[in-house]
Structures are given as structure tokens and as C-alpha cells.
């Protein structure tokens, strides 16, 4: 790892690193917030934050206003980038495919399959790196926004023993049935739509009978709500399987980080009640 920057905030540290990823076969960047309680004698739990389309590790860390509550609770936050990047990494002219739009899947189709292995990177490689090099425990939770909310739900539901809780803001809840998801999955996974279902949170939730605690906030003035996000499919899936989720429609809120700022403290406290057990 190579440190890019380090800044003190709320008596903790915000640090940014690059490292060579074996799964993505390129240099990857991530940021970490270490609360003041973190030390080798006091390894703290972690919330992994997965960001949305066009974002990097910096969006959440700079805009969400999460550090005060994370410092109070003694929670570390890790924010990876949203995709592989670099001159040798495949890309597309549109914002919703390629660099900045990894969708947290393991791509199987050329030219994406060489580098776009974000599912394995988030699920295995990054947590192993974090736990080996920082004063954190193996107790972790997932949170995310939009494409990252999709990633948090899919990864959490597919690896239930690894995560204490899951939360999401404005997640892409049913990507196999929305334009963003159809475009990305066709490119990354191919035309066989049956292979897409393992990355669809609504499909996963409809076919499980046990899940970690799940909290979802969705603004009712989100311009992407009806066409892209489809939270009603997630609620229907939970009803079908009998899994309890908390889905809150927040009146007047949109898709922006102003929305995330408003409720991020509640999400951190939600995770804390399960991380501390």
C-alpha cells in the first residue's frame, strides 16, 4: 500500500491509499476513517461504504458528514473506489458503463473481465487487506448509495455470515429490470439473463428466508425512483420470503448527498447496535 493523504478529523484520521489489486489487476484506491478509539489494543468494527455511479472513494468521505458520529461510536469507515481505473482498463464514453460504473459484479465478458472483478474485490480482497493492516476487527457491515446500495444489498445477501447488518440509500433494487442494470449486465455478464439474477437484490431477497438486519431510505422526489430504483420490488420480495426489512420513504428528498447527510447518523447508529454485539 502507498498512502496518498492523511488528515485529522474529529480526533480520528482520514487516510487515502492506493494498492495493487490481484483481483482487478490494476492499482486501486480506497479511503479509511479511523476513529480515535482505534488502536492495536482496541480493534474497532468497520462499515464498508459503496458509492454510486461516477463516484470515487472521495464522494462519501467529503460530502456525507459521517465522521462525527463514527468517532463517537468508535466505528471505522472504509470507502473503496467504484471500479478499476487506469489507461489499460476498459472504459466507455457513457457515465453508466466502464470506469466509475463497476456495479460490484465479477465481469465475465471481454473487454471487461480482465479488470472488472469488483464483487470479489469488495467481498474478499479489500477486507483481508484492511484487517491485516489497520486496527479493525472482523466485525463489519455494509452500506451504500444508488449503484452502491445495489452492491451493499447483493454482497450482504450473498455473504450473510460475513456482515452484521446492511443499509442503503436509494438502491438500484431490481437491476435486471431497469435501464442502468440491463445495460451494465449485458456488457459485463452477457446476454443470458438468468446469470444476472445473482446480482439482483430483489431476486436474492425473494429466495431467502433469513437475512441480516436491513435498513433502506428512499426519497420520494428522487428523479430516478420509478425508472431505475424500483424499491417496491424489494419490498414485494421481502414480503414473499417473509424477511423483515425496514424501507422508509422520505418525503421531499432526492438522490443527492444532501439526502445522505440527513440520515447518515441514523444509519451508523443502526449498524452500531449490531456491530457491538
Given the residues 14, 222, 267, 271, the one annotated as active site:
222
Q: Is 236 in the active site?
A: no
Neighbours of 160 (CB within 10 A): 13
State the number of CA atoms in the 13 A half-sphere of 212 facing the CB: 28
Given the residues 115, 145, 150, 255, the one annotated as active site:
255
Q: Which of 100, 197, 104, 207 is nearest to 149 (CA)?
A: 104
Task: Give the integer Cα–Cα distance in Å for 137 and 34.
Answer: 12
Q: Which residue has the cell 414485494?
A: 236
Residue 192 neighbours by CB under 8 Å, 6+ apart: none
Peptide bond into 190 cis (omega under 30): no
Given the residues 146, 165, 170, 173, the one annotated as active site:
146
CB contact at 8 A, 173 and 198: no
Q: Is 222 in the active site?
A: yes
Cα–Cα distances in angstroms (integers) from residue 24 to residues 114, 173, 188, 272, in the given order = 7, 25, 14, 31
Q: Is 115 in the active site?
A: no
Catalytic residue list: 146, 222, 255
Amino acid at each position: 500500500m502507498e498512502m496518498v493523504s492523511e488528515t485529522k478529523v474529529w480526533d480520528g484520521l482520514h487516510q487515502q491509499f492506493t494498492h495493487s489489486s490481484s483481483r482487478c489487476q490494476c492499482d486501486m484506491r480506497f479511503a479509511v476513517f479511523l476513529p480515535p478509539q482505534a488502536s492495536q489494543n482496541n480493534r474497532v468494527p468497520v462499515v464498508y461504504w459503496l458509492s454510486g455511479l461516477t463516484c470515487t472513494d472521495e464522494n462519501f468521505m467529503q460530502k456525507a458528514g459521517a465522521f462525527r458520529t463514527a468517532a463517537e461510536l468508535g466505528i471505522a469507515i472504509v470507502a473503496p473506489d467504484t471500479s478499476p481505473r487506469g489507461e489499460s482498463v476498459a472504459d466507455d464514453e457513457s457515465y453508466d458503463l466502464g470506469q466509475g460504473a463497476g456495479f460490484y459484479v465479477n465481469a465475465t465478458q471481454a473487454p471487461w473481465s480482465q479488470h472488472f472483478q469488483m464483487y470479489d474485490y469488495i467481498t474478499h480482497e479489500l477486507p483481508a487487506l484492511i484487517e491485516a493492516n489497520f486496527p479493525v476487527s472482523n466485525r463489519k457491515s455494509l452500506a451504500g448509495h444508488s449503484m452502491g446500495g445495489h452492491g451493499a444489498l447483493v454482497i450482504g445477501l450473498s455473504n450473510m455470515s460475513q456482515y452484521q447488518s446492511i443499509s442503503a440509500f436509494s438502491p438500484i433494487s431490481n437491476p435486471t429490470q431497469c435501464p442502468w442494470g440491463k445495460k451494465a449486465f449485458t456488457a459485463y455478464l452477457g446476454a443470458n439473463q438468468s446469470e444476472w439474477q445473482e446480482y439482483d437484490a430483489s431476486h436474492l431477497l425473494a429466495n431467502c428466508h433469513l437475512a441480516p438486519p436491513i435498513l433502506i431510505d428512499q426519497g420520494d422526489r428522487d428523479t430516478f425512483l420509478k425508472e431505475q430504483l424500483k424499491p417496491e420490488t424489494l419490498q414485494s420480495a421481502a414480503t414473499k420470503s417473509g424477511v423483515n426489512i425496514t424501507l422508509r420513504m422520505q418525503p421531499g428528498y432526492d438522490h443527492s448527498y444532501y439526502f445522505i447527510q440527513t440520515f447518515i447518523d441514523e444509519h451508523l447508529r443502526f449498524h452500531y447496535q449490531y456491530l457491538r454485539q
